């Protein structure tokens, strides 16, 4: 921590130290919003998603998640070239970052664009048959959808294929490094 931040921390009221979410000034919030916009432009959607929850989650939880990400993503990588090692920055921003995609049928979706997903069974009266669905980021029917990953529905004619894909999605999400479930799955 630099000396300016340290000085600001020392002036923080002691009676607020035990609160889970500490207050911040309007200017600090505006600075954080600008930092989030910069992070968004770098393509680091997992960090942006985490910072979007800043002051919603406990401060220590945000700090721990950011610290974990930093430890798992070093800035430089060493590549072998003959006998000597050469340090290279992977992209223009100096971040090592991989985007993770999941695919179902004809859809490839960035895992960080998934805010929620669910199964649904509906009868199609036009086709006179059941349709089994996986729905990503469901919105109310009255909402105008402007995002390609919002209220995305994948239809199946076979419930077993849908359930197999849904279980694969659950398994992927449960084991994905950037996602943490805080409760057990309902059976």
Q: What is the pTM of this model?
A: 0.48
Cα–Cα distance between 130 and 136 in angstroms, integer? Answer: 19
Q: What is the pLDDT along the chain (187 residues), one digit of tens a residue?
A: 777 777 777 777 777 777 767 777 888 888 888 888 888 777 777 788 888 877 777 778 888 888 887 777 665 444 444 544 444 444 444 444 566 788 878 788 888 778 889 999 999 999 999 999 999 888 887 777 666 667 888 999 999 999 999 998 888 888 877 677 788 776 6
Alpha-carbon separation of residue 40 from 33, 51, 63, 93, 171 (angstroms): 10, 10, 19, 12, 27
């Amino acid at each position: 921590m630099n000396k300016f931040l340290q000085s600001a921390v020392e002036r923080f009221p002691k009676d607020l130290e035990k609160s889970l979410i500490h207050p911040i000034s309007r200017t600090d919030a505006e600075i954080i919003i600008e930092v989030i916009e910069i992070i968004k432009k770098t393509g680091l959607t997992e960090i942006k998603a985490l910072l979007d929850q800043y002051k919603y989650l406990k401060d220590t939880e945000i700090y721990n998640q950011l610290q974990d990400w930093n430890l798992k993503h070093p800035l430089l990588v060493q590549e072998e070239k003959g006998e000597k090692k050469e340090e290279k920055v992977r992209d223009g921003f100096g971040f090592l970052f991989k985007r993770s995609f999941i695919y179902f049928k004809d859809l490839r979706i960035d895992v960080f664009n998934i805010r929620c997903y669910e199964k649904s069974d509906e009868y199609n009266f036009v086709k006179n048959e059941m349709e089994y669905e996986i729905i990503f980021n469901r919105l109310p029917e009255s909402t105008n959808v402007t995002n390609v990953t919002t209220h995305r529905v994948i239809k199946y004619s076979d419930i077993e294929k849908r359930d197999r894909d849904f279980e694969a999605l659950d398994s992927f999400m449960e084991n994905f490094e950037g996602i943490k479930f805080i409760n057990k799955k309902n059976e």
